[in-house]
Amino acid sequence: MKIIMLGAPGAGKGTQAKMIAEKYSIPHVSTGDIFRANIKNGTELGKQAKEYMDAGKLVPDELTVKILLDRVAQDDCAGGYVLDGFPRTIPQAQVLEDALNKLGDKIDYAINVDVPDENIVRRMSGRRACLKCGATYHIEHIPPKQEGICDTCGSELVLRDDDKPETVLNRLKVYHEQTQPLIDFYTERNVLKTVDGTRDMKDVFNDIIAILG
């Protein structure tokens, strides 16, 4: 079972991907993690990716797909995997599709965790982080015992730049321009399934399980 997770930043697709991976005993394949592992281990692909990243350039789609295919060719992916963070654009999806076709393989499901923009802005702007110990909170869902103070170490909690409404809106704009077209791409291939990401995390997960069977 080969699954791609789609959804806007803050929609919760990463959390769902981890839960799916755990339930079905398949790897959760995050492109960020693969890049870091290849660079840390000094692989040939990792060295190539590092050259682009050190120069402040985006890693080309072909190289990203090579690194991804290298990961999913490993034994633990024989029964399937959950892709998180890739593809982000139509060209990436096409390169991935072509590469899988050559292997006689394909994506089985593209799960779209659908959450309206206003919900995401509210969700992300409610996050608070402790820069000292790394603990995270949410003013509505997981509030600290004392407002603005970390339960763990007593340091001040902050709203990270990434979570500020203006930053979130900008990330959503990029998402709608680049990633939203993937919804149509995978709809045409009859593998897209959409779930309501505004519901409780467990309810969303149950909806996904009902799709995957």
Question: d(Cα 183, Cα 9) in Å, to the nearest integer?
Answer: 15
Contacts of 63 (CB under 8 A, 6+ apart): 45, 48, 49, 52
Please determine, for residue 60, whether its predicted confidence score (pLDDT) is greater than 90: no
Average pLDDT of 29-41? 88
Question: Could you read off the pLDDT of 132-163 as tens digits, one per residue?
Answer: 998 999 998 899 999 999 999 999 999 998 88
Question: d(Cα 182, Cα 165) in Å, to the nearest integer?
Answer: 25
Q: pTM for the complete prediction? A: 0.82
Please determine, for residue 65, whether its predicted confidence score (pLDDT) is greater than 90: no
For residue 171, the model assigns a pLDDT of: 87
List the catalytic residues.
13, 88, 127, 160, 171
Contacts of 61 (CB under 8 A, 6+ apart): 89, 91, 92, 95
Q: Nearest CA to 64 among 88, 97, 105, 31?
A: 31
Question: Could you read off the pLDDT of 172-206 as tens digits, one per residue?
Answer: 998 888 888 999 999 999 999 999 999 999 999 99
Average pLDDT of 75-84? 93
For residue 162, the model assigns a pLDDT of: 84
Question: d(Cα 130, Cα 60) in Å, to the nearest integer?
Answer: 35
Please determine, for residue 103, whether its predicted confidence score (pLDDT) is greater than 90: no
Question: Could you read off the pLDDT of 106-130 as tens digits, one per residue?
Answer: 999 999 999 999 999 998 999 999 9
For residue 88, the model assigns a pLDDT of: 86
Please determine, for residue 6, whether its predicted confidence score (pLDDT) is greater than 90: yes
Architecture of domain 2-115+171-212: 3-Layer(aba) Sandwich (3.40)
- In this prediction, residue 9 has a pLDDT band, given cuts at 50, 70 and 90, of confident
For residue 194, the model assigns a pLDDT of: 97
- In this prediction, residue 5 has a pLDDT band, given cuts at 50, 70 and 90, of very high
